Structure 1
Amino acid sequence: MEKDTEMTDPDALDEQQRQYGHGLVSEEEIDAKYPNRPKNHHKTLPFHALFLTLFNPLNENRKYLGGPAAGRRRLGPHGQTSLTPHEARRNIIERFIARWRQEVGNDIYPAFRLIVPEKDRDRAMYGLKEKAIAKLLVRVLKIDKNSEDAQNMLNWKLPSQNRVGAGSAGDFAGRCFDVISKRPMRTAVGDMSIAEVNEQLDKLSLASKEEDQLPIMQRFYQRMNAEEMMWLIRIILRQMKVGATEKTFFDIWHPDAETLFNVSSNLRRVCWELSDSSVRLGGEDTGISLMQCFQPQLAAFQMHSFAKIVSRMKPEGDDNVFWIEEKLDGERMQLHMMEDPSLPGGKRFGFWSRNAKEYTYLYGSSFDDNEECALTRFIKDAFNPSVKNIVLDGEMITWDMEMDRIVGFGTLKTAALSEQKNRFSDSTGQRPLYRVFDCLYLNGKPLTKFTLRDRRNALNHSVNTVHRRLEIHPYAEATDASEIEPHLRQVVAEASEGLVIKNPRSAYRLNERNDDWVKVKPEYMTEFGEALDCVVIGGYYGSGHRGGGLSSFLCGLRVDHEQIRRGANPQKCYSFFKVGGGFTKTDYDTIKHRTEGKWITWDKKNPPTEFIELGGHAENRQLERPDCWIKPEDSVVLSVKAASASATDQFRMNITLRFPRFKQLRTDKNWKSALSINEFLQLKNNAEKEQREKEFEIDVSKRKKAKITKKQMTVAGNEVLKTPYGGPETKIFEGLTFFILTGCEKPVKNTKAELEQMVKAQGGKIVQRESTLETLIIIADRPLVKVASLQRKGDYNLIRPIWLFDCINQADTDIGRSNLLLPYEPNRHMFFLKADAEFQVEGNVDEYGDSYTRDVTVEELKDIFKDMPSKFESSFSSAHLLDQAEHHDLEIRVLPGFMFHGLTIYLDKASLDTDQTATNGRPVKSVSSNLALSLAGNTIRIGAGKISKDLTDMSITHVIIGEDRSRLRSIREIISGRARLPRIVAVDWVEESWKEKTLLDEERFVSL
């Protein structure tokens, strides 16, 4: 039939209509928008054709991809030469597409929606994750929720409770297959077409309640067998993993498909506009356009030394400048603005995330979106009058106005929703802030082909900073790689994400990672010594190849003598960090052997607070709750190293390790010799002191050159301090005497002197020692020697500085009540509580931790509501947050393809290549050793590592030695003068790391 023949099958016609508003748009309206869209001449293929002819063959071929034989041709069953794995993959996809064109037509959009579901922006998120799907299936299958099969689905990461299904631990869809296989409605494949599946999935995406979702899942169950249900669940979860990416499918469908998707993020457009592979896109169709979401340029992962990164940015002549930007912890966001005379203010806005999710509803569509707008109504002065239309690229972050700093990515949505309700532009609290770092379209002209330097100039001339609403992201110019390290140290100290190094001479390349933008994250450092020895207190079950067993562990710090003296269990630990990288199968087996039978399932209704305190303890939120826990006396001690330590509320210590990695199992230690809370704090304080001393030494030479003017020193007391206090002055603390022992970090960082000045500005009096005054209030926030001494005496309550801020803020809120002093709240305000004051203080909050007198923040109220017993189970889905988490705090080495990234490795083949021969004329050196080194080199390259052939290369991080050790002395002499010595390890380190799919600690493979 001709390509333009009308579809005669109602099923296919409905599918076309559902792509626009689920059947609410007429055929004429579809034709008006896409007049040349392809029309299928027959109904779509059955759903089972997808996995029988596409998914399963691709998965079978997948085992050969990425392996040693990836580029080799395999032999067929009769000895004939077959295709390489890459050729076989293309052949499988080409056959499916050819079949579709022949049997269905040229509109492949219905199939692509199920093949690459994560790229389908027309269908809303289902709001279903594994546990919600499991609950639906329990009801569909009509099985008891407490039965083995139900528990196997609900707790899919845990080992199966029976033999059947034991192999699917960690694979949710596989676990569902095991359960459904026992009670299928059909054993043969079902008769649902691809169009029918799409129709039901459209309905499922619109169903927000379980009662609406249930009949849809029942229909799938009635018309599909177990294997079909397994693939359907993977489609709903958007976790296909079939051994081919969307780029492969796009490239085989049409040569320009990837280009069009990059500029439009529109799967439907790719399928409909590029249905004829012989028709190519014109130049005007390959650039970004207004109000059309595009796939942004991405920063490559650091895989080389700083010097190599800079050298790869291709300096032109004398122009060797590169830019250093802070990597922001927010959500990548593009802003589109165009003229629209129909709107107040004459401008229309559009916002899209990196994953093409539209956020215009949240941040605003015009300058006068007063009802539901978190940003645009505040940025009327952000654009110069000459700007008619513009497209900006940047990061949406959360800015805390009280602390005057960025706060974590997870608070962004809450801050934006709160700002929607705010009627005033001078709010305190948290707000969304758009940091712009690129301009890609201006007054009808795409700028992607211009250099970054030119684009930044266009940005500076077009956009004005609106303080803490829309700001141009700053950068530092540099010409030498040595300038990167100080900036990295600074962002580590500020607990920031890292840096992005950019080439100012580069064009903007859509949906690419290349050497023009490179992200630099802190590597493993040794501020706290080579490693920390901490006791394991909890475990988490894994997924994928780690399914069925504990794959990561919660480590804690044991309490000290002072807490034990006050009645704490000597084995009690505070949660500190989770670690899951660096373990071998042998390590897991050893831990299992030493702890078998001693793990206890975590009961969130009755947590083991006698032994473990988790993050969120003040509100009983049980943050980072493990699947199971273990008593320290039954546990093991792990030696762990990490990049740095940073503040967090996810762990009880309120501090955690960033990118922790297992080093070794300390079988020589037990829980009593593991690190305690005070021992870690001492290590941390010493490290910070050493860092300050280093910074002081660097600054000495600068000070000598400057003229030093001596200033009169004043003793802290009731004199007027030189440190200004910028807040409101009241008499809220009049008549009270304060003894302030420490500064504070929360809610705003203040020194001891600054707190004293703040108290005096509010009418309070300052003293420098404790006394018996009834009006004395002692302020402390850190366990210094004097603080610990007062705690041991037990005669005084010690109050956290946040109480001062709460009193001042409440006085500002309660007009006419400037003398209001808030009662103490046990967890928020009390650093140390006298025994006889416990009952009185606990009566100041209700059972959920809500203050009876203080106005709580939106974030606090949200946490209180979250932990209240609910009449109905929440249907909130965190799917979007999980989708965005991929590029936040990801240690890329957890991916096998990037295992050796950032490492430069020298293979000691020199001794193997000598002319030494035995009497029989054969080489003295072992052929097997040479082969092992060669294979190790291939593995390193596959894992994104770099091989250096020059031992004098200053970027070398590791030297790999084979069986021959004759050159060890000369190697050590060559590298001995370096500030950072490369690690010398045996070739087994490479082989074992690749085998275990994680970078193992080098000390296990040291070559002597």
Structure 2
Amino acid sequence: MPRSRDMRMDDDEDDLFTDTRKVTQEKEDPDAKYPNRPRNSKPSLPFSALYRELFNPLLANLKKPTGPQAKKYNQTKKPQEKRREIINRFIARWRKDVGNDIWPAFRLIMPDKDRERSVYGLKEKALGSVLIKVLRISKDSDDAYNLMHWKQPRITGDNKAAGAGDFPARCHDAISKRALRSEPGDMSIDEVNELLDQLAEDSKNQFPVMQEFYNRMNAEELQWLIKIILKQMKVGATEKTFFDCWHEDADGLFNVSSSLKLVCWELWDPEFRLNVTDKGVKLMQTFQPQLAQFQLRSFEDVVKKMQATDNDQVFWIEEKLDGERMQLHMDDNGYFKFWSRKAKDYTDHYGSAVDDRKGTLTRYLGNAFKSGVRNLILDGEMVTWDPIEDAIVAFGTLKSAVIAQRTDDPTAHRPFFRVFDILYLNDTSLINYTLRDRRNALNSAIEPVPRRLEVHTYTEGSSVEDIKVKLREVVAEASEGLVIKNPRSMYSLGDRNDDWLKVKPDYMKELGENFDLIIIGGYYGQGSRGGRLSTFMCGLQAQDGKYYSFCKVGGGFAAQDYNWIRHKTEGKWNTWNTRRPPTEYIELAAGQAEKPDEWIKPEDSIVISVKGAQLAPSDQFKVGVTLRFPRFMKLREDRGWDSALNLVEFFRMKRDMEAQKQENEMQIERRRATKRVRRGLKIAGADEIVEPIEVGNDHLFDGMNFWIMTESSKPRKSKAEIEGMVKACGGKIFQSDGGADDVKCIADKSVVKVLTLKKKGVEVIRPQWIFDCQELGCKLPLEADRHMLFIPPGAEDNFEETVDQYGDSYYRDITAEDLGRLLRDQIKLEEDEYVSEDAISNLKDSLSQLDPPIGWMFQHVVAYLDTPENASKNHIAASVDDIRKSFTQSRSLVDGNGLTLLMCQNILEFGNGKIVDDFEDENITHIIVDYADRSRVKAMRGLLSLRDTIPRVTLADWVEESWRDETLLGAENFAVETL
């Protein structure tokens, strides 16, 4: 039976996972953070035991025997069983011969999961240079060339392709000729870790440390050591297999902590089991995020997966952002931590607190969280935002944006955090809540900070066409693609599954463009593609006869395609010489980072068809434009080298594509536009007819400049959505008034920027004016009450001729809401006239048969709110404290003390409902509760059963969702179950 650990830490120390800010303390005294860490009683195993007893047997297990051994192989254990047996045998030996602390071995077995050791700063090229010095071989020798050009075939030897694309194998070839030892050395696993720590701490240690390894290891040991340094193990077993063999809870703990050390030191006892809280995400502790699965074979498969397990057919469609996955933690003291998907700490980049002046993001988050939010964990994407273009910048610019933000330049690129999930809120882990519930919690906790921290939007869909429509939209904006999510799914730590699916535009047949391009360069592959050209650079012929680099394509090739290309071009490739590039044939960009390994004359080359999802600017190719998501489509055997696409034809195609795209967008906008021809109106007292300006929606705001300062409250639209509407109608967006008179300042809230404009005497217009203009297809005159947030002193007369004396607009059709307001104001204004209550009641009844104004939604509701005070006063509970205990079970994740019921009271009163506090009132139609205490509700219904008319007992959600949907929903759908 699994047992709990008897001697846990004291209460003030029992959280092994928090306070990661005390890194220095942990390094000085790990016992302070890990008091239960195991101790090894004996020296660690020799390093050679790793590959002799673990790595080599695991690799051998991958190979299926042939010939006489095949029959015997079929009768043995399955490969997965054998794999676990090998790992278990190694772990058992470690426990017996060393002890229970397997941390020294695991950090070498899974080096890519070790977050404790810093990066080495050694990739293949740098490591090859160090080895050349250690081995004391000439830089001009064949072995030195083979090390530095490890992707290419060897220049000597019988099998020149051997080891191509496999750097450790190349190292083994060079070392084995000069090895100081033929047998494994005596270096222990602990000694290897100590030297690797030195290698990571200081770049000056590279030569002496590698020299020490060379002196004490044979060639095979050094080959495995190099794999560890490069973190490219590929031993035939995943980290999950190692974790499962070590402890049943190991994989789960790593997913919520990203700490290999914690897994080893906390779960050394196989009989110890983690409790439920230890398996959830922890505040200020990085976790392994859920990832999106790659798209299935077709959109039909995507929809089928999303609708497989529930009657609810709806799924969510989100734009896939082109940034860096990031998690944000905030604790009760207002400290922040930022971690990337690979658990790299970025807090120094983005800030540790609101008052951290070095932080490029947190100093703007003072008002980003709603009242009642004490701590949280957010999951999202960090992107780069360009405030001038008001758009997201391409991937790879975050570092420069962080540097630019420290200059306090308001026009500089900035980090922008788009949040799409919340996993922790007010001491509660939310990973076991559905995505829909988590999104509700997210919206209740976040107060968006425009262009700094915002909630990522989604679109609901239920069909293939919904996905295609959205994909066309994001491709038009040069986006990376879509993520389709199941709103009924839980959060799966460290997992890819069908609940989140990626959709890339290059998979869509009707999107993207096909280009017939000539190959001018090639890049050697690695791994299974090692030793041969696997990626190709394509070019376009310029007017000077040279071929300009245009794109690099490596995806979509089949084995037969490579074979055909090799057959047609064999013997015609030339090695690229950086000092003497073939400029008479090929021209690269000045800053082109990746030079091809080989080049070929255009007349010796072939033409291939390449598909791209979108054209995008690029300084990495001479053309200045490249294909986004390039993919090989087919070989053009029917086309000669001189018939490939050239530069002039390309730019003509590009111009035609842009014109077609613009025409398509205009057609979409025309279909959306609701143009209405309006008659000129004769205003009382005026000498001429006033005509509104009638234009198409495409050009509604042509020549007009806008500064959108806030979102709109009704209808609810974000700042970005309003800006998009203005741009679609021909308007230009600015991020300040620029001191000009022709910039219309738009806001719905009196934020600091608005107050500053008020002091300057600048008029501020509500976003409602933009919505009204777009709906009617014409520029409307401004109305004081409806359209103006601030009217400068002395300018009130400018708005008198837009409405009559009762406030009725001359230019807009009256709405039910307007009519209700006019009737109420009519009674107040006309004291000598009388409108009976019966007349108003009859009018309400008539409108209620149609579509009543939202202000009359609850006109027939008489509600009793089951607050603690009302329950105590009506003797439904012994005291206010008794009933308050029920509220601790409230579904409100932000505040469980009755705030929701107070909100319901405000909504009911605003919607013309009646509130009573006497439980015995016979007129009560609804009893509103905000908890699910079934015993209390059952007792309450017992008291109600004696009445002639029994009120409905319903959750507060009924009020809130009716108000949100602007219609009275059926209360029976929100009843509290008591059985």
**TM > 0.5:** yes
How is 1:155-234 mapped onto 2 (pairs within 5 angstroms)?
Answer: 155-163=149-157, 166-207=161-202, 209=203, 211-234=204-227
- Which residue of 2 is the match for residue 657 of structure 1? 627
Q: 1:404 aligns with which of 386, 390, 397?
A: 390
Aligned length: 684
Shift of 1:503: 1.8
- Which residue of 1 is the match for residue 229 of structure 2? 236
- Which residue of 1 is the match for residue 93 of structure 2? 99
- Which residue of 2 is the match for residue 493 of structure 1? 476
Where 1:395 maps in the other structure, the secondary structure is strand
Contact 2:198–2:205 (8 Å) recurs in 1: no
Task: Tell me the distance in 1 between the aligned counterparts of 2:471 and 2:208.
Answer: 54
Say if 1:459 and 1:635 are closer, same or farther in 2 by CA, change over 3 A.
same
In structure 1, the gaps of 5 or more residues are: 5-18, 341-346, 715-719, 728-748, 756-760, 763-1008
How is 1:494-533 mapped onto 2 (pairs within 5 angstroms)?
Answer: 494-525=477-508, 531-533=514-516
How is 1:459-608 mapped onto 2 (pairs within 5 angstroms)?
Answer: 459-525=442-508, 531-559=514-542, 564=543, 568=544, 570=545, 572-608=546-582
Counterpart residue type for residue 417 of structure 1: I
Task: Tell me the distance in 2 between the aligned counterparts of 1:522 and 1:22.
Answer: 43
Q: 1:636 aligns with which of 596, 601, 606?
A: 606
Task: Tell me the distance in 1 between the aligned counterparts of 2:272 and 2:25.
Answer: 31
Say if 1:575 and 1:277 are closer, same or farther in 2 by CA, change over 3 A.
same
- Which residue of 1 is the match for residue 920 of structure 2? none
Where 2:382 maps in the other structure, the secondary structure is strand
Say if 1:480 and 1:667 are closer, same or farther in 2 by CA, change over 3 A.
closer
Contact 1:107–1:271 (8 Å) recurs in 2: yes
How is 1:117-136 mapped onto 2 (pairs within 5 angstroms)?
Answer: 117-136=111-130
Q: 1:612 aligns with which of 574, 582, 586?
A: 586
Counterpart residue type for residue 392 of structure 2: I
Task: Tell me the distance in 1 between the aligned counterparts of 2:27 and 2:238.
Answer: 34
Task: Tell me the distance in 1 between the aligned counterparts of 2:149 and 2:370.
Answer: 56
Counterpart residue type for residue 572 of structure 2: K
Say if 1:485 and 1:37 are closer, same or farther in 2 by CA, change over 3 A.
same
Shift of 1:488: 0.3
Counterpart residue type for residue 435 of structure 2: L
Counterpart residue type for residue 41 of structure 1: S
Say if 1:189 and 1:288 are closer, same or farther in 2 by CA, change over 3 A.
same
Contact 1:74–1:83 (8 Å) recurs in 2: no
Shift of 1:292: 0.8
In structure 2, the gaps of 5 or more residues are: 6-19, 680-691, 708-726, 734-738, 741-979
Task: Tell me the distance in 2 between the aligned counterparts of 1:753 and 1:309.
Answer: 38
Q: Deviations over 1:387-446 (max 9, x none)?
A: 111111111111111221111221111211332x2246xx21211111111111111111
Task: Tell me the distance in 2 between the aligned counterparts of 1:698 and 1:189.
Answer: 71
Say if 1:751 and 1:515 are closer, same or farther in 2 by CA, change over 3 A.
closer
Where 2:171 maps in the other structure, the secondary structure is helix
Shift of 1:298: 1.2
Where 1:312 maps in the other structure, the secondary structure is helix
How is 1:851-866 mapped onto 2 (pairs within 5 angstroms)?
Answer: none
Shift of 1:548: 1.5
Residue 426 of structure 2 corresponds to residue 447 of structure 1: no
Task: Tell me the distance in 1 between the aligned counterparts of 2:23 and 2:455.
Answer: 41
Counterpart residue type for residue 630 of structure 1: I
Q: 2:305 aligns with which of 306, 312, 316?
A: 312
Where 1:610 maps in the other structure, the secondary structure is coil
- Which residue of 1 is the match for residue 268 of structure 2? 275
Task: Tell me the distance in 2 between the aligned counterparts of 1:260 and 1:173.
Answer: 32
Where 2:372 maps in the other structure, the secondary structure is coil
Contact 1:554–1:576 (8 Å) recurs in 2: yes
Contact 2:701–2:730 (8 Å) recurs in 1: no
Shift of 1:590: 3.8
Contact 1:623–1:651 (8 Å) recurs in 2: no
- Which residue of 2 is the match for residue 855 of structure 1? none
- Which residue of 1 is the match for residue 32 of structure 2? 32
Residue 339 of structure 2 corresponds to residue 339 of structure 1: no
Shift of 1:363: 1.1
Shift of 1:552: 1.4
Task: Tell me the distance in 2 between the aligned counterparts of 1:448 and 1:218.
Answer: 49
Task: Tell me the distance in 1 between the aligned counterparts of 2:26 and 2:443.
Answer: 43
Task: Tell me the distance in 2 between the aligned counterparts of 1:252 and 1:336.
Answer: 31
- Which residue of 2 is the match for residue 373 of structure 1? 359
When the two structures are superposed, what TM-score results if normalisation uses the length of structure 1?
0.63
Task: Tell me the distance in 2 between the aligned counterparts of 1:23 and 1:467.
Answer: 36
- Which residue of 1 is the match for residue 755 of structure 2? none
Residue 25 of structure 2 corresponds to residue 51 of structure 1: no
Q: Deviations over 1:878-914 (max 9, x none)?
A: xxxxxxxxxxxxxxxxxxxxxxxxxxxxxxxxxxxxx
Shift of 1:653: 2.4
Q: Quick check: which has more Rg, 1 or 2?
A: 2
> What root-mean-square deviation, in Å, do the aligned CA atoms of Structure 1 and Structure 2 show?
3.5
Counterpart residue type for residue 621 of structure 2: F
Shift of 1:381: 1.4
Counterpart residue type for residue 151 of structure 1: Y
- Which residue of 2 is the match for residue 394 of structure 1? 380
Task: Tell me the distance in 1 between the aligned counterparts of 2:302 and 2:129.
Answer: 50
Counterpart residue type for residue 364 of structure 1: G
Say if 1:108 and 1:454 are closer, same or farther in 2 by CA, change over 3 A.
same
Q: Deviations over 1:319-375 (max 9, x none)?
A: 4332211110111111111123xxxxxx111111111111112111111211x3121
Counterpart residue type for residue 671 of structure 1: W
Q: 1:422 aligns with which of 391, 398, 407?
A: 407
Contact 1:528–1:684 (8 Å) recurs in 2: no
Say if 1:23 and 1:105 are closer, same or farther in 2 by CA, change over 3 A.
farther
Counterpart residue type for residue 648 of structure 2: N
Task: Tell me the distance in 2 between the aligned counterparts of 1:713 and 1:624.
Answer: 51
Q: Deviations over 1:66-124 (max 9, x none)?
A: xx99xxx96438xx921111111111111111111111111111110000111011111
Q: Which has the higher contact order (CA 8 A, sep 6+)?
A: 1
Residue 251 of structure 2 corresponds to residue 296 of structure 1: no
Where 1:523 maps in the other structure, the secondary structure is helix
Shift of 1:231: 0.6
Say if 1:415 and 1:198 are closer, same or farther in 2 by CA, change over 3 A.
same
Where 2:505 maps in the other structure, the secondary structure is coil
Say if 1:701 and 1:143 are closer, same or farther in 2 by CA, change over 3 A.
closer
Q: 1:359 aligns with which of 338, 346, 352?
A: 346
Task: Tell me the distance in 1 between the aligned counterparts of 2:565 and 2:329.
Answer: 54
Counterpart residue type for residue 39 of structure 1: R
Shift of 1:642: 3.9
Say if 1:326 and 1:508 are closer, same or farther in 2 by CA, change over 3 A.
same
How is 1:523-922 mapped onto 2 (pairs within 5 angstroms)?
Answer: 523-525=506-508, 531-559=514-542, 564=543, 568=544, 570=545, 572-614=546-588, 617=589, 620-694=590-664, 702-703=672-673, 707=677, 722-724=702-704
Say if 1:306 and 1:366 are closer, same or farther in 2 by CA, change over 3 A.
same
Contact 2:506–2:631 (8 Å) recurs in 1: no
Contact 2:591–2:619 (8 Å) recurs in 1: no
- Which residue of 2 is the match for residue 904 of structure 1? none
Say if 1:696 and 1:313 are closer, same or farther in 2 by CA, change over 3 A.
same
Task: Tell me the distance in 2 between the aligned counterparts of 1:455 and 1:750.
Answer: 33
Q: Deviations over 1:786-806 (max 9, x none)?
A: xxxxxxxxxxxxxxxxxxxxx
Counterpart residue type for residue 536 of structure 1: I
Counterpart residue type for residue 523 of structure 1: D
Shift of 1:532: 2.6
Say if 1:176 and 1:452 are closer, same or farther in 2 by CA, change over 3 A.
same
